[in-house]
Amino acid sequence: MSNKELLLLPHQYELLADTSTKIIGLCSGYGGGKTFSAARKAVHLATLNPGVDGIVTEPTFPLLTQVMFPELSAALEYFGVKYRFNKVESIFYCDINGVQTRIICGSMENYDRLIGINAAWCVCDEFDTSKADVAYAAYVKLLGRLRKGGVRQMVIVSTPEGFRAMHRIFITEADETKRLIQAKTEDNYHLPQDYIDTLKSQYPAQLIEAYLGGQFVNLTSGSVYYAYNRDRCDSQEVIRPGETLFCGQDFNVGRMATSIYVKRGDVFHAVAELSDLFDTPDVISVITDKWYSQGHHIVMYPDASGANRKTSNASTSDIALLEQAGFEVRVNSTNPAVKDRVLAMNKALESGRLRVNHRACPSIARGLEQQAYDKHGTPDKSSGVDHQNDASGYPIAYEMPVVRPVLHIPVSFV
């Protein structure tokens, strides 16, 4: 194998140079050189693990034959690695320092055929274009196969396709073992300008963010809480001893949702959450044990319909139960219109009066990011994130309501 200089874009270099992060991802817009990077990363990892298998995947077998096989061949030839490709097996048999080293290729949709392999590394190209459940299941299974070799690494490369498996792995489930590199199409200075101009002319704003900006955005339909951004709306605040807690409460048997805020000046900070408790007595018990008994004054902002409904076997209404527990309850006789509650939330997010500690409140952050409008133009409830969003919205709509201007028209009598 010969030494060759390889000219790389900054994000490509970061991907290839990092061999210590256990799970590393490259998320880039169209034309960002992702598959080029994936193939070279595969060859690099193969050279670091002579005699140990490695795995390369594409979402489907046709993508392997049309995209990855040619790229792997080009990468191996560029670096002077002698190899033999068995088309029937989809395996590259490589000579790494005189030792046979296999690069085993397979499709994500048939990942179960790869789970009998003991490998050092795995490179998954265009990961997010697989179905989210298939991609995540493949990730879990393939990660479990990385049992041998001196440099073990899972590499995930893709254009972002909304809040799917890649977002789950690197954002929702982020930890110290993972690193995500994000790049824009424009970072590839080799592309002609008319390529970028054409993409911009063809895609709406959200798709431009994803397919040119390499960002995770809601691609299903219009995002309900468009003003929420994890970084821009981030909070570092936590609950301080004895301070007042402002709690939004949504009632659903078995799916109770509570969003808990603190106030800093006139800014509400989401700092805790309760999800999937069974009923109102359960919620009261948890809040009492964790905070009320520790000297916190509890202000509840419940769904107004809780005055009439009972989620427990008792004859007392949900709101009455909250009051009997010693909590202060702030609620109007009826809920605001859904569109007004959503408008209040977006206005608060835009103005900086609502911030979210997404590390302490993963369900709140996920719900604000992911809820879209359904075909009827109303917030979609099929994903299950609506309960936490509703809970988050009640305090904001109560304290920062939408105030519609009143038009006074003089009336004259004839």
DSSP summary character for residue 20: S
Q: Is residue 230 part of a domain?
A: no
Q: What is the pLDDT of residue 409?
A: 39
**How far is 263 from 274, CA to CA, in rounded Å?**
18
Domain boundary among 169, 193, 211: 211
Q: Is residue 404 part of a domain?
A: no
Are residues 176 and 62 part of one domain? yes
Q: What is the residue range of 142's domain?
A: 10-211
Q: Is residue 229 part of a domain?
A: no
Are residues 145 and 27 part of one domain? yes
Q: Is residue 414 part of a domain?
A: no
Q: Is residue 4 part of a domain?
A: no
Q: Do residues 244 and 228 make contact, with C-beta atoms less than 8 angstroms apart? A: no
Which tokens sit at 108? 């994500």
Q: What is the pLDDT of residue 399?
A: 95
Domain boundary among 155, 189, 211: 211
Q: What is the pLDDT of residue 184?
A: 78
Which tokens sit at 107? 């499709």
Are residues 170 and 27 part of one domain? yes
Are residues 198 and 253 part of one domain? no
**How far is 408 from 324, CA to CA, in rounded Å?**
44
Q: How many CA atoms, within 13 angstroms, populate the side-chain half-sphere of residue 175?
A: 5
Q: Is residue 375 part of a domain?
A: yes
Phi, psi of 291 (to 5 degrees): -130, -50
Q: Which helix (H) or strand (E) holds 243?
A: none
Are residues 101 and 30 part of one domain? yes
Are residues 91 and 190 part of one domain? yes
What is the mean pLDDT, run by run of 10 residues, along the chain of 414 residues?
69 93 91 89 96 96 93 94 96 96 93 88 93 92 93 93 87 93 78 74 63 66 84 96 96 92 97 93 96 97 74 68 95 86 89 96 94 80 89 95 52 38
Check which CATH number belongs to the domain holding 309 and give it.
3.30.420.280
Domain count of the fold of the chain:
2
